[in-house]
Amino acid sequence: MRVDLVTLFPELFERFFDTSFVGRAVERGILEVRFQSPRDFGLGKHQSVDDTPYGGGSGMVMRVDVLVAAFEALDAKAEAAGQPRARRVLLTPQGQRFEQRTATRLSGEPAIMLVCGRYEGFDERVRGFVDEELSLGDFVMTGGEVAAMAIVEATVRLLPGVLGNEASTHEESHAPATGGMLEYPHYTRPVEFRGLRVPDVLQSGHHAQIEKWRREQSQERTAERRPDLLKKPV
Ligand SMILES: C[S@@+](CC[C@H](N)C(=O)[O-])C[C@H]1O[C@@H](n2cnc3c(N)ncnc32)[C@H](O)[C@@H]1O
């Protein structure tokens, strides 16, 4: 899979790629990452990528011409390498909410382009040059980079061979295999801490009973904490 990142701050991703399994996926050739700064197509001696909004108001707006030039530069690099064009994803608090099923869908794409905004956001016409818009949630951040990291992390860990134990991505919260429910509780040593004991069933070695207990716990805690998930398509 390839991830094209359109960002004014590629350096923000350095530690992220250096220290995580995402970086190891790059080293192992499972993932390819390409950066493109819109600044490379900025205008004037300051290489401006933004301008004041028509109609007035506060803040600056990212220019459509500069952004589309960045998209097309990434497409040209892909074409030159005989690779597919990336699915373009605009990161915005106005997009569809990014969820586990979005990660599953994106992990099936050969290439995605994540477009990180700054300032007041994008000139509206940028929306005509992307395939979809995604939001990390109903809150506003200063830029799209943290959203891009979250999307890359959730998506790349689903690629075959990225995590050591494939089962761990099947059995966790929000996964299709658990019906989109929350995962059951986990315990490790010590068996007792300040009067809090590990449930006996988990120490019994009886696999069928452990399975049953985990299924019940998963259902109970989903009903208690996130009843909305029980009605949601996975
Ligand atoms: C300050 S925000 C712009 C918000 C915009 N003025 C609005 O009200 O919809 C700047 C950039 O941060 C990113 N961003 C902020 N919140 C986000 C979220 N919840 N999900 C994804 N991206 C977000 C987007 O790329 C956005 O263009």
Distance 156 CA to ligand 1 centre (A): 23
Q: Which residues of the chain have pLDDT under 50?
A: none
Asked whether residue 200 falls in the same domain as residue 148, the answer is no
Domain boundary among 156, 179, 199: 156
Name every residue whose Cβ is closer than 8 Å to that of residue 34 and which is 6 or more positions away in sequence: 2, 3, 4, 5, 74, 77
Give yes or no for a contact between 103 and 126, defined as CB atoms under 8 angstroms apart: no
Residue 54 lies in a domain: yes
The CATH number assigned to the domain holding 129 equals 3.40.1280.10
Q: Is residue 124 part of a domain?
A: yes
Range of the domain at 133: 2-156
Q: Is residue 161 part of a domain?
A: no
Same domain, 32 and 140: yes
Residues in the chain: 234
Give the number of other Cβ atoms within 10 Å of residue 116's Cβ: 25
Protein residue with its CA nearest to atom 2 in ligand 1:
142
Residue 163 lies in a domain: no
Q: Same domain for 20 and 121?
A: yes
CATH number at residue 203: 1.10.1270.20
Ligand 1 pocket list (CB less than 6 A): 91-94, 116-118, 120-122, 135-137, 139-144, 147
pLDDT of residue 93: 98
77 Cα: distance to centroid of ligand 1 (angstroms): 27
Say yes or no: 34 and 62 in one domain.
Answer: yes
Specify whether 119 is located in the same domain as 53: yes
Looking at 165-206, list the stretches that DSSP marks H as alpha helix, in order from N- to C-terminal side. 167-170, 200-203
- Total structural domains within the chain: 2
Residues 36 and 142 in one domain: yes
Give me ligand 1 centre to Cα 147, in Å: 9
145 and 115 co-located in one domain: yes
What pLDDT score was predicted for residue 158? 96
**Residue 165 domain flag:** no
Are 127 and 180 within one domain?
no
Give the whole-angstrom CA distance, residue 57 versus residue 174: 41
Helix axes 100-107, 145-156, angle to 10 degrees: 70
pLDDT computed for residue 166 by the predictor? 67
pLDDT tens profile 160-200: 999 977 657 777 899 988 889 999 999 999 999 999 999 99
The CA distance from 126 to 221, in Å, is: 42
pLDDT of residue 89: 99
